[in-house]
Amino acid sequence: MMVISAVWLAAFLWTASAPTPQDRAGNPRQGGADQVRAGTLLFQARCAECHGADAKGVVGPDLTVLWTSAAGPASPVGVSDDRVFRAIRAGVPGSVMPPSTAPDDELWAIVAYLRSLGTTTVGSVTGNTDHGQELFWSTCGSCHRVNGRGGQLGPDLSRIADRQSRDALTRAIRDASASIAAGYQAVTLVTTDGTRIRGVGKGEDAFSIQIMNTRERLQGYLKASLREVVHETRSLMPDFGPDRLNDRDLEDLVGFLGTLRAAPARR
Ligand code: HEC
Ligand code: HEC
């Protein structure tokens, strides 16, 4: 396990500059209330647009669980602080997460702020993830793919925890139509003989429309051959209210989804 995590760390740090003495020591003024306060302000100004005012994730991932999910309880805390510091310094290549040229002090303040969030949410990573995984394959896997297995009507969820916070996941399950994932809008096509075909819209221009129907077949239609094209505001994903999924099961399921991260963090 130690070997694996060392290799992973090396891979993660490939973009970072040579360590300074400060890096090795971890956060030089860790945890001080002033530092956390400064970090809070810096975070609101520079990071909240993507990670949310509460750091629970919008475009960027939930940062309140960094110390619990990515480093793991066995990991020495200093390494973890460094890792977060370096992620902020270097950005994430190939994503919209930008690098930062701000002074070390400012970045450490942000790290201290994020860490203060992480410690207050320790213990919130709950749920029986094994049971959650079973529930996933019995209830969700027909429409969603995870690591190459499952259906394709809905988005691939292999890295969903990098994109969505636990709160957002809970909402997506309880109330699927409240926000519809881009590229997965439901449409109903009515042919001239009155047949109705449901699916998710995959492309459309003035003359034609492509959909993936509920049997996962991609189909194209000329609009001239259709009586009507209905763009629906409801999701193709059913709502899983408490009658279909009780709170306990929901927690297990979200717990499982919370493990679906980019390979390095999942280990
Ligand atoms: C333009 C949007 C954007 C801004 C601004 C932004 N981030 Fe990010 N951030 C992202 C995205 C997207 C990712 C996920 C990248 C990936 O893994 O594909 C990310 C990833 C991260 C990670 C790595 C999480 C992990 O699990 O390894 C950290 C830490 C982070 N951001 C902190 C910050 C901090 C602190 C700031 C402000 C200084 C900031 N980000 C500003 C979009 C942003
Ligand atoms: C009948 C097919 C179907 C089933 C069953 C289904 N989903 Fe979905 N799901 C979809 C579709 C289509 C979307 C995209 C539209 C939307 O965002 O509502 C979606 C969206 C999502 C999203 C948002 C993804 C993103 O990238 O924003 C999550 C999370 C999700 N589903 C989780 C689940 C879970 C968990 C279950 C099982 C309890 C489940 N789904 C069952 C079809 C389905």
Separation of CA 244 and ligand 1 centre (Å): 35
Burial class (CB in 10 A: 0-12, 13-18, 19+), 165: buried
Which residue, judged by its Cα, is nearest atom 8 of ligand 1? 97
Structure tokens at 180: 């519809």
Structure tokens at 101: 């040229």
CA nearest ligand 1 atom 14, residue: 60
Per-residue model confidence (pLDDT) at position 28: 63
Q: How far apart are the C-alpha atoms of 82 and 113, rounded to whole Å?
A: 14
Residue type, 9: L
Atom from ligand 2 closest to the CA of residue 139: 37
pLDDT at 29: 56
Q: Is the CB of 260 under 6 A from ligand 2?
A: no
- pLDDT at position 182 is 82
Of 54, 75, 92, best ligand 1 pocket probe by most atoms within 8 Å of the beta carbon: 92
**CA–CA dist 100, 194 (Å, integer):** 57
- What length does the chain have? 267
Q: At residue 59, what is the residue type?
A: V
Rounded distance from Cα 90 to ligand 1 centre (Å): 10
pLDDT single digits (tens) 190-233: 999 999 999 999 999 999 999 999 999 999 999 999 999 999 99
Nearest residue (CA) to ligand 1, atom 40? 47
Of 198, 192, 219, 195, the C-alpha closest to 208 is 219
Residue 19 has what pLDDT? 37
Residue 54 above 90 pLDDT?
Answer: no
pLDDT of 154 higher than 90: yes
Q: What is the pLDDT of residue 62?
A: 85
Confidence of residue 50 (pLDDT cuts 50, 70, 90): very high
